[in-house]
Structure 1
Amino acid sequence: MEFRKYQHLERYSTDEVDGIELGECLVFPKLDGTNASVWLDDEGNVKAGSRNRELSLDKDNAGFYAYILTNKNIEAYLKKHPTHRLYGEFLVPHTIKTYREDAWRRFYIFDVTIDKDEEHVEYIPYDIYKPMLEEFELDYIAPLVKLKNGTYESFIKTLEQNNFLIKDGQGNGEGIVIKNYDFYNKYKRQTWAKIVTSEFKEKHYKTMGCPEVQLKEIVEQQIVDEFVTEAFVEKEYAKIVNENEGWQSKYIPMLLGRVFSELIKEETWNILKKFKNPKIDFKTLNTLTINRVKQVKSSVFS
């Protein structure tokens, strides 16, 4: 493998991450160090990178390359998982100086990927890579909270409680990163969102005051839970299989479209009665319906 730059984290509420909060999200603390990566080349040698380039001993990104070359646990992990690439933050002094003394000059892994082709990578979900890293006693960034259909207010509450690796009573970390492993933006890219503490405080705190968090289930999720059952999805799947004498991955858009179409055609009256004429955001309803179809028929999406 060769050097591959880490994705750009998009600011929450921009169109690049529109809808990322729908479904299950993991919210991670964002560290203020230097972005770094580690992988094996085609000859099995340990390689390391900064945000923008492959490193060498004379250009080693604040000592990161030398650190990696002496880290036998990192090497052992990569030898066992040679297709994996580790991304993380090498914690060296930057803007925030209030991290605990024992936290400095360590590599905190926040993503594990596998190259799919020259342009695309597969992000391994946290729950899968966590025990793999723990086997080799590697440092990693754990999520602060798991949210289903999060809101801006709930993200801000988590942001204000983020003191990961910070000395007691020394404020908050740099920010948070929001990951939804089922989310792909309108450009078909798997993208994460961020909220930076300083930007939030500067732009929002005085006008918004202390955020009030209400994590009640949205009506669109209630509709999906009630009506987009496993049997409902399987019925539309069976229709497509029968019509085409089998299943192919190219029918996935057809399945997603049909399930949502049939939900609207067959169940609108029941939805109106059940939820007493609710105000429905159909874009949100469609996104949550797609998520449910992916859950029910995960085998055809893999």
Structure 2
Amino acid sequence: MEFKKYQHLERYGTDEVEGIELGECLVFPKLDGTNGSVWLDNEGNVKAGSRNRELSLEKDNAGFYTHVLSNEKIINYLREHPTHRLYGEFLVPHTLKTYRDDAWRKFHIFDVCIDKDEESVEYIPYDVYKPLLEEFDLEYISPLCVIKNGSYEYFVKSLETNNFLIKDGEGKGEGVVIKNYDFYNRYKRQTWAKIVTSEFKEKHYKAMGAPEIKPKEMIEQQIIDEFLTAAFIDKEYAKIVHENEGWKGQYIPMLFGRVFSELVKEETWNFIKKYKNPKIDFKTLHTLAVNKVKIHKKEIFG
């Protein structure tokens, strides 16, 4: 087997996950670490990957590959189940620093798959892979709740119960991931949905706080206001800090570029659908994105 990138978690409410709430949904806590995967290649060698690439000992994603190669439990599991691919979160500090001391630098598995074809994987249901992982005493992320025929309001309630691996009294986790193992979207893809805690709080504040009188805004400003959240910016900032083992002022242009690039890659289809094929000036969109980064991360600009 070769490296396969983990799926992009879709924002709940977009057409990519339309209808996912119909049926049985397992709601999992979303961890704020670094994405990792583990598998055996065709020669039986243990391999590991980050979100975007296969790892090497020289570039091992904050020690993740070294951790895997020294973890007999993971190796023994793969020897027993050579067609399985493990996806999880290697918990190293990013945006959230409130996880329990005993949670750090562990691989917390959130999906187990088998290869469907050269491009895609088939997800093994939680109830099936849970006892397999427990047999080898592997760390895994358990669901917060099971909801049948749910709604946004039900999923939002689960956010308030998400203290998975969080220190007592230190707030909530990053968000939740919604999985319906019987769901395939209109494009025939098995896709999960996400709701991020900080995004929910921003929406709640706007809904419950003092009313605002807003003039009609340009479409680019509406896109920035809705889709370029504080959580989105913080995530890209944390990635740069993690990759470079710290922050330097010279990384500011990289932050601007990363934020805008990821916004376009992740959200273009969503705002095209919402605003019905709008005419977008991407130069203006870029300027507004840079301005929002400057406002949100003003402490790094001195």
TM-score normalised per structure 1: 0.68
Q: What's the Cα RMSD here? A: 0.9
Measured after TM superposition, the shift of residue 14 of structure 1 is 0.3
Letter aligned with residue 178 of structure 1: I
Counterpart for residue 237 of structure 1: none
Q: Is 1:31–2:31 an aligned residue pair?
A: yes
Partner of 2:11: 11
User: Counterparts of 2:112 and 2:152 in 1: how far apart (Å)?
Assistant: 27
Counterpart position of 2:83? 83
The letter for the 2-side match of 1:165 is L
What percent of counterpart residues are identical?
81
Q: Match of 2:145, as an amino acid?
A: V
Structure 1 residue ranges, 4+ long, deviating more than 6 angstroms after superposition: none
Q: Using the alignment, how far apart are the partners of 1:23 and 1:203 within structure 2?
A: 26
TM-score for the superposition, normalised by structure 2? 0.68
Report the alpha carbon displacement of residue 199 of structure 1 after superposing the two structures with TM: 0.9
Indicate whether 1:111 and 2:111 are aligned: yes
Conserved? CA contact 2:4–2:119, under 8 Å: no
Q: Offset of 1:38 from its aligned partner?
A: 0.1
Instruction: Measure the CA separation in 1 of the matches of 2:205 and 2:113.
Output: 36
Give runs of aligned pairs for residues 230-245 of structure 1, distance below 5 A: none
Shift of 1:206: 4.2
2:264 aligns with none
Residue 94 (structure 1) aligns with: 94
Q: 2: distance between equivalents of 1:193 and 1:177? A: 6
Which amino acid is the alignment partner of residue 17 of structure 1? V
1:96 deviates by: 0.2
Aligned pairs (5 A) from 1:124-143:
124-143=124-143
Q: Give 1:203 deviation, angstroms.
A: 2.2
CA shift for structure 1 position 97: 0.3
1:137-152 equivalences under 5 Å are: 137-152=137-152
Per-residue displacement from partner, 1:38-90 (whole Å, max 9, x unpaired)? 00000101000000000001100000000000000000000000000000000
Instruction: Spell out, residue by residue over 1:1-43, the C-alpha distance to the aligned partner (whole angstroms, 9 max, x if none).
Output: 0000000000000000000000000000000000000000001
Task: Provide the C-alpha distance between the structure 2 equivalents of 1:131 and 1:82, rounded to a whole number of angstroms.
Answer: 17
> CA offset at residue 119 of structure 1?
2.0
- Separation of aligned partners in 1, 2:137 and 2:58: 28
The match for 1:160 is 160
Q: How far, CA to CA, are the matches of 1:101 and 1:73 in structure 2?
A: 21
SS of residue in 1 equivalent to 2:85: strand
Inter-partner Cα distance in structure 2 for 1:205 and 1:147: 26
Question: 2: distance between equivalents of 1:86 and 1:126?
Answer: 12
Deviation at 1:116, TM superposition (A): 1.4
The unaligned stretches of length 5 or more in structure 2 are 210-302
Determine the C-alpha separation between the residues in 1 that align with 2:67 and 2:137: 16
User: Aligned AA for 2:30?
Assistant: K
Secondary structure at the aligned position of 1:87 is classed as: strand
Note the residue ranges of structure 1 that are not aligned, 5 or more in a row.
210-302
Rounded to whole Å, the distance in 2 between the matches of 1:198 and 1:115 is 34
Segment of structure 1 superposing worse, 199-208 or 64-73: 199-208
Aligned residues: 209
Query: Max radius of gyration: which structure?
Result: 1
SS at 2:157 equivalent: helix
Deviation at 1:161, TM superposition (A): 1.3
Q: Which residue matches 2:186?
A: 186
Q: Distance in 2 between matches of 1:197 and 1:146?
A: 19
